[in-house]
Amino acid sequence: MPHRRTTFSRFIIEDQRRRGGSDTELTALLNDVQTACKFIATAVARGSLKQPYTPIGVETVAAPGVNVHGEMQKPLDLIANEIFLRNCEFGGQVCGMASEEMEEPYVIPAQFPRGRYLLVFDPLDGSSNLDVNVTVGTIFSILRAPEGVTEPTVEDFLQPGTQQVAAGFALYGPVDMIITTFGEGVHGFTLDREVGAYTLTHPNMRIPEKACEFAINASNERFWEPPVRRYVEECIEGKTGPRGQDFNMRWVASLVAEVYRILIRGGLFMYPRDTRPSCKPGRLRLLYEANPIAMVVEQAGGAASTGRQRILDIKPESLHQRVPLILGSKAEVERLDRYHAAYDRGEDLKFEAPLFGTRSVFITPVSATQD
Report which listed range, 71-80, 220-229, 353-362, is most confident. 220-229
**Total number of domains in the chain:** 2
Indicate whether 236 and 315 sit together in one domain: yes
Q: Is the pLDDT of residue 363 over 80?
A: no
Residue 208 domain-assigned? no
**Average pLDDT of the residues in 38-63:** 71
Percentage of the chain exceeding pLDDT 90: 77
Distances (CA, A) of 241 to 244, 328, 360: 6, 22, 11
- Which of 202, 221, 253 is the C-terminal boundary of a domain? 202
Range of the domain at 221: 213-369
Annotated binding site for Mg(2+): 100, 122, 124-125, 289
Q: Quick one: 283 and 198 in the same domain?
A: no
Helix (H) or strand (E) holding 323: strand 322-323
H/E run at residue 140: strand 136-144
Confidence of residue 365 (pLDDT cuts 50, 70, 90): very low
Q: Which residues pair with 136 in a beta bridge?
A: 172
pLDDT, residue 21, reads 79
| CATH code: domain of residue 276 | 3.40.190.80
Beta partners for 20?
A: none
Closest Cα partner for 311 from 261, 270, 260?
270
Q: Which of 162, 182, 202 is the last residue of a domain?
A: 202
Confidence band of 371 (pLDDT split at 50, 70, 90): very low
**Cα–Cα distance, 236 to 93 (Å, whole number):** 49
Checking 97-101 for CB contacts under 8 A at 24+ apart, the result is 97/121, 98/157, 98/287, 98/288, 98/319, 99/123, 99/288, 100/67, 100/68, 100/69, 100/285, 100/288, 100/289, 100/320, 101/67, 101/68, 101/73, 101/77
> In this predicted model, what pLDDT tens digit does every residue of 219-234 receive, in sequence order?
999 999 999 999 999 9
CB atoms within 10 A of CB 246: 13
Backbone CA torsion sign across 127, 302, 238, 348: positive
Residue numbers belonging to the annotated binding site for substrate: 125-128, 217
Report the pLDDT value the prediction gives residue 142, as an integer from 0 to 100: 98
27 and 85 both lie in a single domain: yes
Half-sphere exposure at residue 15, Cβ-oriented, CA atoms within 13 angstroms: 24
Residue 47 maps to which CATH number?
A: 3.30.540.10
Our CA angle for 240, 246, 248, nearest 5°, is: 140
Percent pLDDT > 70 in the chain is 86
Q: Is residue 207 part of a domain?
A: no
Q: Which residues are annotated as a binding site?
A: 100, 122, 124-128, 217, 289
Residue at a domain's end among 202, 237, 256: 202
Considering the entire predicted model, what is its pTM? 0.89
